[in-house]
Chain A
Amino acid sequence: MDTKPKVDENKVVNDSQWLAGQSLIEYKGQWIAVFNKSIVAKDVSLKSVMDAVRELALSYIPLYIRVPEGAIIQ
């Protein structure tokens, strides 16, 4: 049996909508993982955040967001 966590599309939408109402200033330039309306991991490295999430053994794959550190234009 495949025990890998899966994506729950409804949770992705809910967490994305929740995130839109949050102040993310303290996370500028970092990747964050959002699970069930909570930020459960953060780091400048996506790989480190994914490793931290793996340790948490969550029931579904969280939403990963990189918080911009300045102007988005390149």
Chain B
Amino acid sequence: MIFSYPPGSGDNPFPSEILIDSGADYSILRYDIAKDALGIPVETLPKTSSPATGISGKRLQTVETNIGLTIPYGARSIENLHFPVKIILDKNSQPQISLLGRVPFFHDFRIDFRMGYTDDKSLGKFVLYHEDKKRKAVNYKKPFDVHIKK
């Protein structure tokens, strides 16, 4: 991945990694990448109305901004997405690696982890492609109805 800021400018390009996390609602950019690598004025960004909550249950104050994101892969590169991220303000509560969550990435791309193609179980293939076969929303059903008795 190549992060940049402001999005669309190509300024401050920073090649690094991000962990695809289907369990995360939103993407989280590490504070040090935001401030030291991309030069984002983190302290001046407005705080989000609701704090982030990880699986530990700890509530963490965040700010939100957009960055540029390029996924390099030769002719199949995905160039300069404008990408919303949250930044956790507590420097002692940073994720080990920046996280790529569902919104909006999983809405726009189909993400496959293809394993078991060879005898070597450690080998697999990661495939990413634009989601262009969306069904109509009316064709989706919730998995079950929830009835709450008063």
Contact = CB atoms under 8 A, between A and B. Distances in A.
Partners in one complex: yes
A66 interface: yes
| Chain B, interface SS category | loop
B39 to A, nearest CB: 11
Interface in A5-27: 6-7, 9-10, 12-13, 16
Interface of B: 2, 13-17, 19, 30, 32-33, 36-37, 54-56, 58, 70, 72-74, 77, 93, 95-97
Interface of A: 6-7, 9-10, 12-13, 16, 31, 45-47, 50, 61-66, 68-70, 72-74
Given A66-B30, A66-B96, A61 B74 contact: no
A9 B96 contact: no
Given A63-B16, A66-B30, A46 B37 contact: yes
Contact of B97 (A7, A10, A61, A72): A72
A7 B2 contact: yes
Contacts of B70: 9
B37 A50 contact: yes
Contacts of A12: 2, 15, 72
A65 B17 contact: yes
Contacts of B36: 46-47, 50
A68 B32 CA distance: 15
Nearest to A71: B96
B54 A61 contact: no
User: Which 8 residue pairs are nearest across A and B when measured between Cβ atoms?
Assistant: A9-B72, A74-B54, A68-B96, A46-B32, A47-B36, A7-B13, A12-B15, A63-B15
A31 B72 CA distance: 21
Nearest to A16: B17
Contact of B95 (A31, A47, A72): A72
Contacts of B73: 13
Contacts of B93: 74
B97 A68 contact: yes
Contacts of B55: 73-74
B13 to A, nearest CB: 5
B17 A74 contact: no
